[in-house]
Amino acid sequence: MLFVVVLLAACAPRVTAERGVPHPDARIEPVHVATLRPLDATGQAFGMQRAQELKYFRADISVPPSHEIGKIEWPGKTADAATDFIVTNTDVLSGQDALVREVRRAYPGQQTLVFVHGYNNTLSDSMYRLAQIRADFDLAMPSVLFSWPSAGDARGYVYDRDSVLYARDEFLSVLDALAAAPGERVFILAHSLGSQLVMESLRQAAIRGDHTLLNRISGVVLMSPDIDPELFRKQAEAIGSLPQPFMIFTTRQDRALSIAGWLTGRKVRLGVIDGPDKVKGLQVKVVDFTALADGEGYNHFVPVTAPAAVNLLRDMISQAGAGADGFDDYMVLTPEAAQ
């Protein structure tokens, strides 16, 4: 059955981001991008292969006035800014220094959110997802999408696992650049297989003794992390003092991670653990979103796709920002708490 699901997902057509004029009532979300994907043969779009060096640009994403929390409103045959996400503007940046200048110019003195997408993602997928997160959580901080070269194909799981390892040095270089000066901070939000990239990169930074960078990471959230729990423990122990807060968002009914477990030999993935035992003794907090799952996207992105989860998480973040300790070491969220 799982094999059939993978084949069906692989055969489903992918929708790409389209350019257009924004609706007057649309919300424009700026997304800065560092990508290790090369331009395709047309020179107008980024492909799925692995590039030798990073490219940088900024995209302004129009979120339609009819937007529903947790959704990405993809266009049909033609894009309509009143109902669909569209790209309204793109600016190619000359390099990493230009990326940092652009971020600092628009948002002086603020920490930067770095979003790392997961398995089977195109650049369009991840740009629109970050724009949706920015809109639904009303983020004021700048955000940078690190787009590693996923195959963008459900059949490309092994390719994607290798691509994560391929991208470690470049990911660290982006973090280094965004947190180069005293007072600059980065907050990392990673999803699925992107969590593996984050953990391997932080482990690499610790091994090379780069404690300055590690100390300038203001927090890490791994959503539905596609990592073997035993490997995660080894990675965390190698890193030593984990950036704080360090949070793991789980969903025990995550069907995508069930497939990943099957592909890796039926190993339980970190994103579906059913309690705190597998991370006992580590400096992490685990939040279980299972009861808030609504079936969207195989329950693989519940914290940002289920409206009840988004609303509850926003409240918890607000409380934490006000000085309250909004997160216990292990929390099981319920629909009642979201009301």
**pTM score:** 0.93
Q: How far is CA 331 from CA 65, 133, 234, 277, 337, in A?
A: 34, 22, 23, 13, 11
pLDDT digits (tens, 9 = 90+) for 113-167: 999 999 999 999 999 999 999 999 999 899 999 999 999 999 999 999 999 999 9
Angle of helix 194-207 relative to helix 168-178, nearest 10 degrees, comes to: 70
Return d(Cα 162, Cα 332) in angstroms, integer: 33
Return d(Cα 330, Cα 131) in angstroms, integer: 29
- Using alpha carbons only, what angle is made at residue 297 by residues 292 and 302, rounded to the nearest 5 degrees? 30
CB 182 within 8 A of CB 218: no
Nearest to residue 310, comparing CAs of 138, 112, 113? Answer: 138
Residue 85, token pair as written in the block:
């996400």
Candidate from 42-51, 90-99, 102-111, 217-226 with smallest mean pLDDT: 42-51
Residue 297, token pair as written in the block:
């996207």
Q: In what order do the strands lie in the sheet with 27-35?
A: 86-93, 55-63, 27-35, 143-147, 112-116, 186-191, 217-223, 246-250, 285-288, 330-332
- Omega of the bond prior to 108 within 30 degrees of 0, cis? no
CB 147 within 8 A of CB 35: yes
Beta bridge partners of 59: 31, 90
Backbone angles phi, psi at 175, to 5 degrees: -60, -45
- Using alpha carbons only, what angle is made at residue 162 by residues 156 and 164, rounded to the nearest 5 degrees? 100
C-alpha R_g of the chain: 19
Return d(Cα 153, Cα 58) in angstroms, integer: 25
If you average pLDDT over residues 302-323, what whole number do you get? 84
Q: What does the mean pLDDT of the chain come to?
A: 90
- 297 confidence band (pLDDT: 50, 70, 90): confident
Indicate if the pLDDT at residue 309 is higher than 80.
yes
Number of residues that make up the chain: 339
CB 39 within 8 A of CB 11: no
Return the CATH fold of 2-338: Rossmann fold (3.40.50)
Return d(Cα 139, Cα 61) in angstroms, integer: 14
> Could you state, in order of their start, the residue ranges of all structural domains in the chain?
2-338
pLDDT of amino acid 12: 40
